[in-house]
Every structure is written in structure tokens, then in C-alpha cells.
Structure 1
Amino acid sequence: MKQLISTLFLFLLSGCQIDPYTHAPTWTGTDWYDAGIQDAISGYAVKDNETLADNFNDPDVDRTKYLKGFAEGQRKICQQDFVYARGLAGKTFPQSCDTVENVDQLHNAWQKGANEGSASIRLN
């Protein structure tokens, strides 16, 4: 009986061994397109290659993909309704929209939202 329990205990212990490399992440490189989208949506201006390399710890910056992603992010964020809502919420005008064609209209929409937002704060 002692021998059976000892054997079962050994089997139980050997089954609990964890391979430390089983769950190690694999490095696939930076998705520069996604990085560009995220920067634009976050309201950042276009970053230079040195800053991108430092931020992502990846010296192989694909500038073309980054700029394509940034343009896609601008398309999503640089809309009058969106910048109006940012102004209403008291957020700053996104720098990523400074280079689009209709920047004056966007800035006016943002300013209108900022004015309405600050007026509603005073009323409360």
C-alpha cells in the first residue's frame, strides 16, 4: 500500500512539471500600420523614425506602412462630429488633424464643442 501511494505521488509530481518555454511570447516584429493608426487616433502628430524606434524598441521602422496607418487613423478621427465631442468633453484638438485639408472646419467644430462644454460646466 505504501509503495502504491509513493508511486502515485511520484506520478502526480511529475505531471505538475511546467516547461518555462511553453508560454513564452514569440517576437513577430512591430505592426507599423497599426502603430500609425493608434498614433493618429490618440491625437499625436506624426512621429519621426528615431522616436518610433525608441518607442517600440524596433530599429527597423517601416515608414511607408506607418504613414498609411496614420492616414487611416486620421480618416477615422478627423471628422466634425468627433472633434466636436472632444471639445465638448474638454479635450484638446487632436494634433493628428492639423494636416488634413478641412482643418479650419474641424477646428471650428472643436471650438464650438469646447465653448458649449465650458458653458454647461458653469451652469452646473
Structure 2
Amino acid sequence: MSFQKMDRNFQSKKGKSFHAESGHDDRPFAVSIAMAMLSEWGESPSARKEVGRITAANERTVRNWFEGRNGPSGENLVALVRHSDAVFGTVLELSGRQALLPVAGILGLRDQLDALVHAIDELRVH
């Protein structure tokens, strides 16, 4: 088996940590995002496939995110935030913006209420 030309030679063992002023514990970024992804989607292979569809990332990359080996790139992180309240909350916590968490929860409630109203309307029709 030969290595691809663009393949990484070494994988970081330590991971990136946050500055002390962030108020975040010493857990690496990749592990924090992995914990949020696991809480949102679970550990099933179908969860990894769904995240792969959301981000257009390959299966191995997504597996490394779920295992906390690597964190997603900026573009992929934005896609994950767009689809996951848990990842969004983690990003807010990591950035020291915990005060915005209630606002994010309220916006999520609006979506749930819209879905509930739609379901009630469907029941009326039948």
C-alpha cells in the first residue's frame, strides 16, 4: 500500500487547547466538538453518514471528528453549527459567549413551535 501524495505524515497527539481567559477547561477543541456531535447524533454509522452529507466530508474525516482525533475545518464547523444546537452551544461556550446560550435556545424553540403548529394543522385536515 502506498501513501497518497497529499496524505499527512504525522497526526497531532496533543490537540489544540484554548487560552486561559476563555474560561474553558483543558479539553482540546476536537474533543469538545466530538462530544457535542455525539450528543446530537449519537454513535451509529448512520449518524456519521448524515454528518458526511451535511458537510460533504468523506467518511474517514467524519469518523476522526466523532472520535475527537481532529476537529472540523471552519467551513465544516459552520455547516455543523447550522444543523446542530449542541455544536452551536459548544462553539458559544468555547468562545466565551455563554450569555448567548439562552437566545440560541429561544430560536430553537421557535422552530419546534412551527413544527408543532404544522402538525396540528395536519390533524385538522384529516
Flag whether TM exceeds 0.5 (same fold). Answer: no
TM-score (norm 1): 0.33
TM-score by length of structure 2 reads 0.33
Structure with max Cα Rg: 1
